[in-house]
């Protein structure tokens, strides 16, 4: 196989110390442009802010800055319009040049405005503080989008909870039928989880939004650059106050992955419930065709692939988090090349989570709910606790009423009847304190309405939860 021609003048930001060529396999192993090219806009904006600050240090004249800014904006426009042409030294993995977005942008800048001025841009700056800045800028913008998608999912949950508030279904513990609840109450149980995720996400964004730029390679900037000026221009809320920490920290990626893992866990459990509820054995919910697939062999099948993928991809997010934590847990302080391994899990997790939240919202908005199937799954034994509480209201201690209600459950099973089919005499045969009105207990609507304390499943309590959620969403 013919080898590409050697680049006679490869741009190496670190080239003066080295004269020998890099092993092509090592170059491929070292390559990052295929990933960090996504940071092109952040890299250029950071460079403009850095150049502007260096007018004040005297490194650049105002005229030189304006030339740099004009050139960088042209490079940005080329990227935006898909016209940026990578040079062999930027992209070809067989050449003896490590591949970085910084190299590509600076190389093109030199072509646009000349290397005399372009060569001044990197004064006092390192790839170490540059990539850390690029990543933080990119990630905070992506988390803004993820926040929007999470809010959208919460709005869909709230809308369905309000719309479907009269639907009553079984709740489950240990995957066994427990007590009657409103379908809306189940929906809002996940709203609470996603609401907590939203709060964590916002806190994570705040931690990310601190500027590393101006820290140099490790020891700081030697030209007295005004880092706060750059922070304000780039929209950062503050600075990372120690240069060693600034270049060696990837905790902000880990924190994002931890936050994403929690969201993924909630999406997974939510999906598992809906997978179960959409089976023919339950038939509480039917997914729209847009979020299901069929079988290549069995014509009758309608598979909930969207939910299964949401459940499965949560493991991918968890893996990204644990993988990165293992990569960085033992490295010494400041920058080490291991930190390059933070980029891929960050990019993959952001896309996985961003897509998943949108799928979840659309899936729920278009799902069909069958309240008759939910109600048909209710059974009188699910009101055994209500029966115990009936006697509590007559002054009987709960431990005693629990035992008596259990005896009524056993009697109904022996008689092969529903508890509501037993006679008054049979109730009073167990305990005389059961009154003539005892059968009024066996009313599912009554049962859910009795759970009226804050956080319960009564209509009022559900509406109260909806109101609280509305305030969190700011509308």
Q: Which residues participate in catalysis according to the annotation?
A: 174, 295
Contact 33, 101 (CB under 8 A): yes
Query: CA 377 to CA 407: how far, in whole Å?
Result: 23
Q: Give me 235's structure tokens.
A: 């929209």
Please work out, in degrees rounded to the nearest 5, the angle formed at the alpha carbon of residue 336 by the alpha carbons of 332 and 337. Answer: 145
Contact 64, 54 (CB under 8 A): no
Backbone angles phi, psi at 116, to 5 degrees: -60, -45
Per DSSP, the three-state class of 266 is: helix
Query: CA 209 to CA 430: how far, in whole Å?
Result: 67
Q: Which residue has the tokens 């990933």?
A: 35
Nearest to 253 by CA among 357, 134, 163: 134
Contact 369, 183 (CB under 8 A): yes
Nearest to 98 by CA among 155, 32, 164: 32
> Who's near 354: CB < 8 A, 6+ residues apart?
142, 145, 146, 149
DSSP 191-235: HHHHHHHHHHHHHHHHHH-EE-TT-TTTT--TT---HHHHHHHHT
Q: Give me 186's structure tokens.
A: 């189940």
Give, in order, the Cα–Cα distances in Å from 210 to each of 133, 182, 337, 460: 9, 44, 22, 44
């Amino acid at each position: 196989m013919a080898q590409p021609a050697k680049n006679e003048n490869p741009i190496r930001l670190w080239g003066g110390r080295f004269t020998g060529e890099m092993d092509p396999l090592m170059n491929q192993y070292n390559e990052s442009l295929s990933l960090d090219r996504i940071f092109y806009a952040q890299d250029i904006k950071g460079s403009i802010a850095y150049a502007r600050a260096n007018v004040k240090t005297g490194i650049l004249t105002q005229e030189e800055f304006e030339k740099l800014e004009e050139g960088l904006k042209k490079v940005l426009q080329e990227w935006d319009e898909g016209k940026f042409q990578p040079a062999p030294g930027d992209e070809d993995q067989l050449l003896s040049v490590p591949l970085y977005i910084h190299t590509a942008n600076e190389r093109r800048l030199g072509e646009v405005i000349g290397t005399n001025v372009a060569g001044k841009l990197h004064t006092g700056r390192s790839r170490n503080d540059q990539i850390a800045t690029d990543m933080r800028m990119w990630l905070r913008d992506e988390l803004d989008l993820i926040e929007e998608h999470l809010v959208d999912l919460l709005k869909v949950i709230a809308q369905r909870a309000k719309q479907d508030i009269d639907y009553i279904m079984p709740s489950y513990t240990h995957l066994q039928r427990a007590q009657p609840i409103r379908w809306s109450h189940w929906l809002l149980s996940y709203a609470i989880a996603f609401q907590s995720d939203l709060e964590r996400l916002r806190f994570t964004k705040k931690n990310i939004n601190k500027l590393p730029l101006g820290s140099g390679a490790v020891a700081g900037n030697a030209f007295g650059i005004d880092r706060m000026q750059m922070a304000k221009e780039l929209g950062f809320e503050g600075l990372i106050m120690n240069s060693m920490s600034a270049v060696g920290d990837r905790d902000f990626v880990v924190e994002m992955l931890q936050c994403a893992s929690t969201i993924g866990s909630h999406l997974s459990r939510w999906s598992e419930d809906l997978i179960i509820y959409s089976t023919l054995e339950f038939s509480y919910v039917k997914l729209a065709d847009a979020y299901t697939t069929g079988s290549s062999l069995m014509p009758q099948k309608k598979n909930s692939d969207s939910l299964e993928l949401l459940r499965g991809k949560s493991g991918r997010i968890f893996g990204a988090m644990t993988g990165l934590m293992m990569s960085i847990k033992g490295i010494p302080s400041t920058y080490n090349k291991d930190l390059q391994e933070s980029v891929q899990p960050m990019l993959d997790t952001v896309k996985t989570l961003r897509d998943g939240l949108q799928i979840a919202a659309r899936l729920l908005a278009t799902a069909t709910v069958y309240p008759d199937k939910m109600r048909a799954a209710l059974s009188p034994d699910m009101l055994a606790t209500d029966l115990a509480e009936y006697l509590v209201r007559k002054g009987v201690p709960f431990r005693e009423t629990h035992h008596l209600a259990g005896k009524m459950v056993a009697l109904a099973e022996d008689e092969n009847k529903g508890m509501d089919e037993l006679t008054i005499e049979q109730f009073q045969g167990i305990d005389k304190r059961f009154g003539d009105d005892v059968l009024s207990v066996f009313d599912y609507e009554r049962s859910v309405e009795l759970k009226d304390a804050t956080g319960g499943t009564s209509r009022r309590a559900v509406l109260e939860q909806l109101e609280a959620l509305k305030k969190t969403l700011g509308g």
